[in-house]
């Protein structure tokens, strides 16, 4: 099978293999919600969530539209899409564009039950330089505001449904780490949306993402197309002209929404080792604010865990009671970070 035919087949197969309901389903209503509003946590499909987190009853995934010439896929963030997408060539991945779903498509899939299954919704958005999908959710709620109020009153629910959008200032493993912490926050359990949003904003200001891109030139191409000034440091660091005269593989970072270049190396494995070493140093020096490290990888997780650097990090983390969470990279993440990339997120102690 020719490469183009293989890619077309895989994309077609992926579109039929997303094993979640086509539409948001109605859930039983807990009478306690009158006293303690139920908060849902929404992330977009570009977030590198684990399958366990994605299946959490409080989590919803905002689909993203992935477009290729002649093909469009609504990525619902499912494991099935990630499995198939990993077989797509990096040439196919770099030709893709990620965008927000249409309001009509979102309404079809989520209205009205999203506003009935939760009383409050916190949307943790990927860095807006990459995609601004939250606007579709806001418009959906605004367009159906009167209907939502009516339906909630009919079901003896508080009519004051609320949506809060928080910019994660991050991407890939970063929002996944933030979501993991938010799911265990006392504010979420208590139904305190303003308090949860404050915590989410604090996490956004402190989250640090490291990236070893598998194909730097693809980043220069895909992020360059977005023409967003915030992305310029990554686009410049991955410029083919620069990588031809300097070490080819950059080690990139995004801290509190600021994109940057940390170092360069001649081999991808060395760049990946530097990313892992950054986490090891933070653990060893007691710099972690939360004992969690989130890693996402576009490749075999089994092979990743066998790397000597990962074995050493796992041993160090166990000694310091730090949990390592490793997931596959999302399809949107592959487009933004390029194929065969490694992403790592952590949150350091602040000076104050």
* For residue 9, pLDDT beyond 50: no
Task: Report residue 139's pLDDT band, with 50, 70 and 90 as the boundaries.
Answer: very high
Residues 6+ apart with CB under 8 A from 42: 59, 60, 61, 62, 121, 122, 123, 124, 137
Of 218, 251, 242, 175, give the one whose Cα is nearest residue 336: 218
Write out the two tokens for 1. Answer: 């099978």
Task: Report residue 285's pLDDT band, with 50, 70 and 90 as the boundaries.
Answer: very high
pLDDT attached to residue 21: 64
pLDDT tens for 61-77 read 999 999 988 888 888 88
* For residue 17, pLDDT beyond 50: no
CA angle 24, 327, 94 (to 5 degrees): 85
Give the three-class secondary structure for 175. Answer: helix
* For residue 8, pLDDT beyond 80: no
Residues 335 and 304: beta-carbon distance below 8 Å:
no
All domains in the chain, ordered by first residue: 3-24+34-201 (3.40.50.10170), 206-347 (3.30.1180.10)
Residues 7 and 86: beta-carbon distance below 8 Å:
no
User: Residues of the chain with pLDDT > 70: what percent?
Assistant: 89
Task: Report residue 15's pLDDT band, with 50, 70 and 90 as the boundaries.
Answer: very low
pLDDT attached to residue 243: 59
pLDDT attached to residue 5: 47
Q: Pick the range with the lowest mean pLDDT from 21-35, 176-190, 214-228.
A: 21-35
What is the rounded average pLDDT for all residues in the chain? Answer: 90
pLDDT attached to residue 150: 95
């Amino acid at each position: 099978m020719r490469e183009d035919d293989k890619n077309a087949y895989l994309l077609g197969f992926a579109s039929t293999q997303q094993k979640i309901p086509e539409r948001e389903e109605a859930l039983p209503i807990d009478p306690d919600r009158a006293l303690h509003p139920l908060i849902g946590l929404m992330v977009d499909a570009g977030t590198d969530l684990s399958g366990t987190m994605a299946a959490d009853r409080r989590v919803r995934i905002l689909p993203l539209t992935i477009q290729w010439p002649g093909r469009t896929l609504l990525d619902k963030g499912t494991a099935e899409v990630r499995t198939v997408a990993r077989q797509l060539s990096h040439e196919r991945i770099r030709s893709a564009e990620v965008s927000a779903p249409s309001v009509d498509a979102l309404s079809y899939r989520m209205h009205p039950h999203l506003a009935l299954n939760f009383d409050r919704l916190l949307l943790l958005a990927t860095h807006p330089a990459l995609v601004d999908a939250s606007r579709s959710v806001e418009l959906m709620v605004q367009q159906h505001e009167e209907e939502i109020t009516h339906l909630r009153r009919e079901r003896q629910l508080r009519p004051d449904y609320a949506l809060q959008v928080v910019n994660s200032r991050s991407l890939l493993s970063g929002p996944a780490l933030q979501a993991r912490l938010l799911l265990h926050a006392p504010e979420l359990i208590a139904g305190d949306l303003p308090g949860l949003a404050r915590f989410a904003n604090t996490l956004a200001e402190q989250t640090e993402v490291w990236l070893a891109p598998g194909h730097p030139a693809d980043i220069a191409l895909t992020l360059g197309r977005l023409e967003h000034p915030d992305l310029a440091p990554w686009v410049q660091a991955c410029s083919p002209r620069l990588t031809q005269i300097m070490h080819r593989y950059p080690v990139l970072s995004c801290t509190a929404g600021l994109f940057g270049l940390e170092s360069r190396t001649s081999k991808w494995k060395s760049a990946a080792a530097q990313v892992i070493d950054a986490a090891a140093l933070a653990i060893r020096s007691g710099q972690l604010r939360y004992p969690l490290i989130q890693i996402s990888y576009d490749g075999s997780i089994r092979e990743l865990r066998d790397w000597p650097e990962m074995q050493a990090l796992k041993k160090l983390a166990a000694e310091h009671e730090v949990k390592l969470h490793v997931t596959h990279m999302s399809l949107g993440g592959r487009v933004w970070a390029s194929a065969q990339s490694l992403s790592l997120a952590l949150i350091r102690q602040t000076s104050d």
